[in-house]
Amino acid sequence: MSFKKMSALLLVAMLAVGAFGCKKKEEAAAPEAAKPAGNTVKIGFLGALTGDVAMFGKPTLEGMKMAADEVNAAGGVLGKKIEIVEADNRGDKQEGASVTQKFISRDNVTAIVGDPTTGITKVAAPIAQKAGVVLLSAGATGPGVVEVGDYIFRDTLLDSIAIPACIEYFAKDLGFKKVAIVTSDNNDYSVGLSQTFRDAAAKVSSIKIVADEKVKDGDKDFSAQITNIKAKKPDVILFSGYYTEGALIMKEARKQGLKAPMFGGDGLFSPKFIELGGPAVEGSMSALGFSTEQASPATAKFIEAFKAKHNGELPGLFDAQGYDAVMLLVDSMKRANSVEAKTFKTALAQTKKFEGVSGTISMQANREPIKSPLSLLYVKDGKFVLRAKVPVKMD
């Protein structure tokens, strides 16, 4: 082989290796946010459509679609139609990360709404932040979400706001003094809510935590925890987890003759809680940012439109928060006069007293929402009904 031929072959080999190396680097690079193309603005739905937490995901998606339909019927946003891109993460953190990556790298979404749960939101948030895609959770209430970065938001009533308001109501209006805490310690949402309650209770001298028990999501037997709690004679049981374990805990409590009611966050707010718990969950309370009772004009309009679309069915918390999430994104795009995330995220961060169907929403400097009013619902005759609406200071 001649020297010239050998040199040519070496050059081809070097170029091939270089091209392969570049390709590998491109594959390893983090997904980047694409500029909205054409006549659509794509918004991804991140949530579960199957599995235990589909009770939160399905209504969130319903609300998002309803908002998109209304926006599109009115001409869209800045001349573009809203397109909801959906996928089922099955309530799994790894799948949540994969769906987030897919939304960004393949579907070219401008924003993502979700996940309704704190744990998956905390997995998805760093991916969205790195890619420059706005992520707005319509359900995550625990800590460690918006701290990820300036593309991360949520529109739900925060535990840090709801819990102090509830504790004040318990102490002044219900006369509760002794509280037993039950935490599902493999559930980020539960761990965060319990700690928020401990911190808030420490500031109210009349409230005393008399028991602090641990369980896990998926547990079936709570006899030992209830035996310990019963001995402390609490006025109320704070369970910071989800409805399945909550219902079983209350069945065990009633079996052992413990009469204290249960209190929790939006994780208890599900027809399944009542279905699984039956008479044992009568009197149980859930703190929410939404109620169909004593509705504002905006909420009343939403309720009637939802009923017309869903054969008379009333909307729930996650329907309302999914709807508000899309409307908040559209509102910020209009105020920014841009559908690019790097631009409208600033307008979203500056949102003040937005009249949502789940309440009035303002973003604080850290992109955390303040919502008013707080709705405290309780189970009466097999249904969740309003017990009190507690105003939240918006300034």
Percent of the chain exceeding pLDDT 70 equals 90
Instruction: For residue 90, give Cα distances in angstroms to 48, 57, 117, 252, 300.
Output: 4, 9, 12, 29, 32
Q: Would the pLDDT of 162 be above 70?
A: yes
pLDDT of amino acid 391: 78
Query: Are 284 and 307 contained in the same domain?
Result: no
Q: Which domain holds residue 317?
A: 40-157+295-363
Query: Are 45 and 104 contained in the same domain?
Result: yes
Is the peptide bond prior to 373 cis by the omega test (within 30 degrees of 0)?
Answer: yes
Query: Are 55 and 169 contained in the same domain?
Result: no
Across the range 261-286, mean pLDDT stands at 95
Helix, strand, or coil here: 257?
Answer: coil
Edge to edge, the sheet with strand 134-137 lists 81-88, 40-47, 111-114, 134-137, 152-154
Rg (CA), the chain: 24
Helix, strand, or coil here: 364?
Answer: coil
Domain assignment of residue 27, yes or no: no
Q: How far apart are the first and last CA of the chain?
A: 82
- Residue 32: which pLDDT band, with cuts at 50, 70 and 90? low
Query: Are 189 and 274 contained in the same domain?
Result: yes
Query: Are 61 and 196 contained in the same domain?
Result: no
Domain assignment of residue 351, yes or no: yes
What is the value of pTM for the model shown? Answer: 0.78
Q: What angle do CA 204, 265, 121 make, to 5 degrees?
A: 115
Query: Are 315 and 351 contained in the same domain?
Result: yes
Query: Are 143 and 165 contained in the same domain?
Result: no
pLDDT of amino acid 8: 45
Domain assignment of residue 310, yes or no: yes
The number of domains in the chain is 2
Across the range 267-291, mean pLDDT stands at 94
- Tens-digit pLDDT profile for residues 293-321: 989 999 999 999 999 999 999 999 999 99
Domain assignment of residue 29, yes or no: no
- Residue 159: which pLDDT band, with cuts at 50, 70 and 90? confident
Give the DSSP H/E element, type plus range, for residue 114. Answer: strand 111-114
- Residue 285: which pLDDT band, with cuts at 50, 70 and 90? very high
Query: Are 112 and 173 contained in the same domain?
Result: no
Domain assignment of residue 20, yes or no: no
- Tens-digit pLDDT profile for residues 64-108: 999 999 999 999 999 999 999 999 999 999 999 999 999 999 999
Query: Are 266 and 310 contained in the same domain?
Result: no
Domain assignment of residue 73, yes or no: yes
Query: Are 144 and 48 contained in the same domain?
Result: yes
Across the range 50-64, mean pLDDT stands at 94
Do residues 86 and 96 make contact, with C-beta atoms less than 8 angstroms apart?
A: no
pLDDT of amino acid 289: 86
Domain assignment of residue 129, yes or no: yes
Query: Are 384 and 239 contained in the same domain?
Result: yes
- Tens-digit pLDDT profile for residues 182-220: 999 999 889 999 999 999 999 999 999 999 999 999 999
Structure tokens given for 352 = 């003040």
Euclidean distance between CA atoms 345 and 134, whole angstroms: 7
Q: What is the CATH number of the domain that holds 95?
A: 3.40.50.2300
Instruction: For residue 252, give Cα distances in angstroms to 225, 246, 305, 316.
Output: 9, 10, 40, 28
